[in-house]
């Protein structure tokens, strides 16, 4: 299979890689008639997994759900909380999109866990970068470059991920506030204290949802400490739902209704109030939620959304965004919004790794 892929890359003028298309707006535009589509789902299966080494290697067409099931048998998990696992997301698509889920704050995001990759470059050569130890890079740190590369640097065929033991227990608390500013202040107060927070969300309009991880006997103390810091008791939880249900629904973007598109905005908490105010007058933004300590904003938008105005708002705030899922599946290709200062640097890296420009390129 690898030999066939190498020949396909070497003999083609333009190439696009796709998996199960769970993040369809990140694909190259379907109207590009010269681009040869390579389906990575044929690269399937776990190559090696040694629980004692906390490393798992798999072909990039392997579903994330397959990896998660194998890890769960040994009490281990993917700490970056991969999104769209139940929808069929693959390892390659997860790496290419660079998206981590809400439950990633305890140990870090996806980029921290990709140790080694095997890929086919634009010349059809099989290249391996990184290694199964932490200090392994010289020159380009190829595994890190592949995270969030949107399939522009090569066809990733195999990847090794670092994994961790799954915490023995989780606990979720909800707090209600009167305004967005008070919700943000509460979030920041919790984050500046030594609490084992694995996820923290601002749920529209003014609810704070926090998840802690650790030993079951210690989490009660953690919850009490959080209530003391915020000066209020947590809301009563829904006993009919498992504690994990809320977070798994977030990872699957269940809050985005059918026919709506999903926009990911990279941001920081200090810009939250300005973004919130600017979006109030924008037509087509159905809901906004702030994830991972307000380092990410997720926008669910209708087909009537004014993307030109959204772009203007994001540029004014120096925020970068990308459309992750296209609710109407019009095959527009990758839509970048807001600050584009990073694109020129990214383009120079692509020129070095794909000199013949076979993979989709950004327009600088």
Average pLDDT over residues 74-95: 97
Q: What's the pLDDT at 134? A: 54
Average pLDDT over residues 137-161: 87
90 vs 17: CA distance, rounded Å:
12
Name the more confident of 350 and 171.
171
Q: Residue 44: phi, psi to the nearest 5?
A: -125, 140
The CATH number given to 169-250 is 3.30.1360.20
Return the closest-CA partner of residue 249 out of 197, 291, 196, 296: 291
Average pLDDT over residues 227-243: 91
Count of C-beta atoms within a 10 Å radius of residue 92: 29
Question: Residue 342: pLDDT above 70?
Answer: yes
Q: Evaluate the CA torsion angle 324, 325, 326, 330 in order and state its sign.
A: positive
Q: How confident is the model at residue 353 (pLDDT cuts 50, 70, 90)?
A: confident
Domain boundaries, given as residue ranges, for the chain: 2-165, 169-250, 253-343
Task: Write the CB contacts of 178 (distance below 8 Å, at least 6 apart in sequence).
Answer: 206
Percent of all residues in the chain with a pLDDT value above 90, rounded to a whole number: 73
Looking at residue 237, what DSSP letter applies? Answer: P
Average pLDDT over residues 198-218: 96
Q: What's the pLDDT at 241? A: 85
The CATH number given to 253-343 is 3.30.70.100
Check if 2-165 and 253-343 are the same fold. no
Distances (CA, A) of 220 to 137, 145, 168, 173, 227: 42, 40, 14, 11, 11
Return the H-helix or E-strand segment holding 67: helix 64-72
Strand spans (E) along the chain: 15-18, 36-39, 46-50, 55-59, 76-77, 114-120, 126-130, 155-162, 164-165, 169-176, 197-203, 207-214, 261-266, 285-291, 296-301, 320-325, 336-338
353 vs 347: CA distance, rounded Å:
10
Task: Write the CB contacts of 80 (distance below 8 Å, at least 6 apart in sequence).
Answer: 100, 101, 104, 107, 108, 109, 110, 112, 113
Question: Residue 113: pLDDT above 90?
Answer: yes
3-state secondary structure 174-202: EEECCCHHHHHHHHHHHHCCCCCEEEEEE
Q: Residue 262: phi, psi to the nearest 5?
A: -120, 125
| 241-291 confidence digits (pLDDT tens) | 899 999 999 999 999 999 999 999 999 999 999 999 999 989 999 999 999
| 301-341 confidence digits (pLDDT tens) | 999 999 999 999 999 999 999 999 998 765 566 889 999 99
Q: How remote is the C-alpha of 157 from its chain's centroid?
A: 19
Query: Cα–Cα–Cα angle for 252, 151, 120, nearest 5°?
Result: 125
**Residues 353/121, Cβ–Cβ less than 8 Å:** yes
Q: What's the pLDDT at 31? A: 43
Question: Residue 14: pLDDT above 90?
Answer: no
> What is this structure's pTM?
0.93
Average pLDDT over residues 5-19: 85
The CATH number given to 2-165 is 3.30.465.10
Return the H-helix or E-strand segment holding 279: helix 272-279
| 172-192 confidence digits (pLDDT tens) | 999 999 999 999 999 999 999
Mean pLDDT (the chain) is: 91
């Amino acid at each position: 299979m690898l030999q066939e892929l190498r020949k396909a890359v070497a003999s083609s003028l333009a190439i696009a890689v796709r998996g199960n298309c769970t993040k369809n707006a990140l694909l190259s535009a379907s109207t590009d008639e010269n681009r040869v589509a390579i389906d990575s789902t044929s690269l399937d299966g776990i190559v090696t997994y040694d629980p004692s080494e906390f490393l798992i290697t798999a072909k990039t067409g392997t579903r994330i759900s397959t990896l998660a099931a194998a890890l769960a048998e040994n009490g281990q998990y993917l700490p970056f909380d991969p999104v769209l696992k139940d929808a069929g997301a693959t390892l390659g698509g997860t790496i290419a999109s660079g998206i981590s889920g809400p439950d990633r704050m305890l140990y870090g995001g996806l980029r921290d866990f990709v140790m080694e990759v095997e890929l086919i470059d634009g010349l059809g050569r099989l290249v391996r970068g990184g290694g199964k130890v932490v200090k392994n890079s010289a020159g380009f740190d190829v595994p890190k470059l592949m995270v969030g590369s949107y399939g522009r640097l090569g066809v990733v065929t195999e990847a090794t991920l670092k994994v961790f033991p799954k915490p023995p227990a989780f606990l979720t608390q909800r707090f209600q506030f009167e305004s967005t500013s008070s919700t943000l202040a509460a979030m920041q107060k919790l984050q500046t204290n030594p609490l084992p927070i694995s996820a923290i969300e601002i749920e529209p309009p003014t609810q704070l949802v926090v998840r802690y991880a650790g030993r079951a006997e210690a989490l009660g103390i953690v919850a009490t400490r959080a209530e003391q810091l915020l000066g209020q008791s947590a809301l009563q939880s829904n006993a009919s739902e498992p504690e994990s249900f809320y977070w798994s629904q977030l990872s699957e973007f269940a809050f985005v209704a059918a026919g709506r598109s999903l926009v990911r905005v990279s941001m920081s908490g200090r810009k939250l109030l300005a973004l919130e105010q600017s979006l109030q007058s924008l037509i087509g933004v159905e809901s906004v939620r702030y994830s991972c300590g307000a380092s990410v904003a997720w926008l669910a938008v209708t087909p009537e959304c004014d993307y030109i105005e959204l772009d203007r708002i994001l540029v004014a705030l120096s925020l970068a965004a990308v459309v992750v899922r296209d609710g109407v599946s019009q095959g527009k290709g990758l839509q970048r919004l807001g600050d584009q200062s990073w694109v020129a640097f990214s383009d120079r890296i692509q020129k070095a790794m794909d000199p013949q420009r076979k993979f989709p390129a950004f327009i600088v």
